[in-house]
Homo-oligomer: A and B are copies of this chain.
Amino acid sequence: MADLAPAGHSAAPPRVDAPAKVTGTARYTADVRLPGMLYAKVLRSKHAHARLISVDASRARTVPGVHAVLTRDELDGIAPGYGYFVKDQPVVARDKVRYVGDVIAAVAAVDEATALRALELIDVAYEPLPAVPDIDAALADGAPVLFDKAPPGIVPPYGTGASALLRPRPNVCYEFRYETGPDDVWAECDHVFTDSFAFSRMNHFHLEPFVTVADVRGEQIEIWTSTQNPFPLRKELARVLGTAESKIRVNVPFVGGGFGAKNNCKTEPIAILLSKIAGRPVRYCLTTEEGFLTMTQHSAIVTVKTGVLADGTFVARESKVLLDAGAYSDGSPLVAEKAGYRMPGPYRWRHIKSSCECVMTTTTPAGPFRGFGAPQATWASESQVDMIARRLLMDPYELRVKNFKALGEPFVPGESGIDSDMREGLDLVAAELGYHSRERMPNRGMGLAVSLKDGGGVNKPATARVKIATSGDVYLSCGTVEIGQGAHTALTQVVADVLGCPREKVVYAPINTDITPFDQGTNASSGVAVMGQAVQRAAEDVKAKVLEFAASRLDCKAADLTLEGWAVLRGEEMTPLTGLIHGSFGGTGFEFTGEGFYKIATSHEAPLEAQCVFWENGWAGAEVEVDPDTGKITVLQLVASGDVGKAINTLTCRGQDEGAAMMGYAQALFEEMRFSDGVLLNGEALDYRVPLAEDLPRRFVSITQEQGHGPGPFGAKGAGEGAMVPVAAAIANAVHDAVGVRITQLPLTPERVFTALHGFEE
């Protein structure tokens, strides 16, 4: 059994949503029921790539119990496609299908069985085209192209050194580029190393499926949906449906996990259009298997050329990341931007040149995923740092420490300073692992890795509102979705801390875009560092208003009063607020409201036209034992750490860090979506290898660092991604340390290790 060592922090109150979730009373989108609600199912492409000759749904429309059928014939007035930057994904296939699973038609019926029966009666004639199964195939000369005509797209304005291109070549929808520092420094390098790495493709595997309940009444569209980003979703839906944002109301109940998958349009457009056709509410809920056909992480090929001095000083790095974007662009351009931008890692360079391309293949579309490009970049960067150390006969620990940027040193010119002491974190992990005191034993080894990602989102404004009722009960309203990360717990705690009230007094209001204050989305670990600041300010604002009110009633200055529980203290004199409020507002009382706004100051000097809010840094150390006869890796120890700045709730932070580390661990050793000629081979829970409890490292320690340099409430930063990103490289580095072979392709399966050891072709 794994040794689940405690994180060493003081006790923290349990999650506020735990009772509802444990007792099953928590309501998710899948629980929504509306009068007359229908159930939707879809028909998916059997071909990885084909022209659609005909789609005949006439027989399906006659099935009793069928109320709506949606095919390409029902798309009048609907935008050709959706997507973050490139609007290339149709609501249902129009001219072509581009991957196995692409949606061709949808049916809403009185129950799912009826809908499925009707789908079987839809006749589709295809003209099969050659599949484009992977990056190499997509970029080969004369490769079949996925899009005959370039879909419309935009490139946002970038600051100094950064730029992007739409469709720079066939089957590439977007390329991000960044360059800083003079490129003549290459001549000064004593060594230049070029290495390539392959990064595997995981499924988000959120336990709650993609699901939407749509209720279209006349022009009014109301949805309940499992999304991370209600406001951006509202905007995109308005564009796709050709209606005003004000006609679309988005409600977001509890979300059972997102990990980046639940952004932009997923089940929403089909649910809405079916509801509009049927004139009844429609519930469209995918199966787990359909989730595999909807959204994935990006596999990648990363080539890194690094120049160093003989003493190990880093000089220059040039990198090219090729992301497998799948059949539609979704968030790929954003991921590309981040993967490319983060290639330098937390090190000092004189020259950096990065490019990242989104390569279209006839596979499941890829998009945002925990880490957002940093896992791909870090896998390559931290593997290569280790390789360079060994080539230079240096300790990889020493090489890292030698090249770390100092606390506060800008990541690149114009960008925010690194807000963790990288060495402090690495020393903590190394010490916990026993890195410096290890004895060499056969087939055993240790590895380290570090990572960084700019956190909090780009240019991100957040607003929050806190109101206090006459009773002293407090209501927090903001757009951060509870996706399991503990937002309800952390943000209500911020309010309680500011107001000095019990956390139980603070209600987290439901999210409804008509009323909820605006937020750009629940992503980029922004919950505490970005929204938390807006929440803190809202709480301070309402506290000031309460004190001003009390001062006006007590004929004194607000500065003479302090808030103590639900009373004000003036010198020794305590005056309960409830009575004061009734005295002024009558028996029904009143509510005070405070507003909070936060947005990082925009810097035109910064490459991405904004400095990042904070740096989410991660450290990992692993000790492994490799069985040379089988290639099987046993992780004896895994130490993973993120710096959260200040833990608002240590229990929740630890949960985030542990979950993140386990996702990194899964990527290192187990999970990979495997395609054969565009057909997914392991697209269901039984075949897809999520680590089980018995797969855990023998010893697993999560260290939640609180270095205190965050911009958020009380010094907080974000959490939940940092501890994932470096894990795979740490394990690969440990494998090399153990048996002297370098695996450059994830996951580190026994086959790959065995092949590397014994030279068999894979």
Contact = CB atoms under 8 A, between A and B. Distances in A.
Contact of A586 (B460, B477, B595): B460
Contacts of A35: 31-33
Given A246-B469, A518-B590, A25 B220 contact: yes
A232 B220 CA distance: 30
A509 interface: yes
A459 B585 CA distance: 6
A593 B471 contact: no
Contact of A505 (B246, B458, B471, B509): B246
A650 interface: no
Size category of the A interface is 35 or more
Contacts of A460: 586
A361 interface: no
A245 interface: yes
Interface in A432-491: 458-461, 463, 465, 467, 469-471, 473-475, 477
A31 to B, nearest CB: 5
Interface string A312-327: 0000000000000000
Contacts of A37: 33
A515 B512 CA distance: 9
Contact of A458 (B238, B458, B586, B595): B586
A325 to B, nearest CB: 19
- A220, A458, A469, A506: residue with the most chain B Cβ atoms closer than 10 Å: A469
Contacts of A19: 218-219
A257 to B, nearest CB: 21
Q: Copies of this chain, how many? A: 2
Given A245-B473, A588-B231, A590-B518, A217 B507 contact: no
Contact of A467 (B518, B593, B599): B518
A33 B31 contact: no
Contact of A517 (B232, B458, B467, B509): B467
Contact of A235 (B245, B461, B589): B589
B246 A588 contact: no
A588 B233 CA distance: 9
A244 B471 contact: yes
Interface in A507-533: 507, 509-510, 512, 514-518, 520-521
B515 A477 contact: yes
Interface in A579-607: 584-591, 593, 595, 599, 602
A34 interface: yes
B461 A585 contact: yes
Contacts of A586: 156, 458-460, 520, 610
27 contacts: A20-B220, A23-B218, A25-B217, A32-B35, A33-B34, A33-B35, A238-B471, A244-B473, A245-B469, A246-B474, A249-B510, A458-B586, A459-B585, A459-B586, A460-B586, A461-B585, A463-B593, A477-B514, A509-B512, A509-B514, A509-B515, A510-B512, A515-B515, A515-B516, A518-B590, A518-B591, A585-B599
Interface of A: 19-20, 23, 25-27, 31-35, 37, 156, 217-220, 231-232, 235, 238, 244-246, 249, 458-461, 463, 465, 467, 469-471, 473-475, 477, 505-507, 509-510, 512, 514-518, 520-521, 584-591, 593, 595, 599, 602, 610
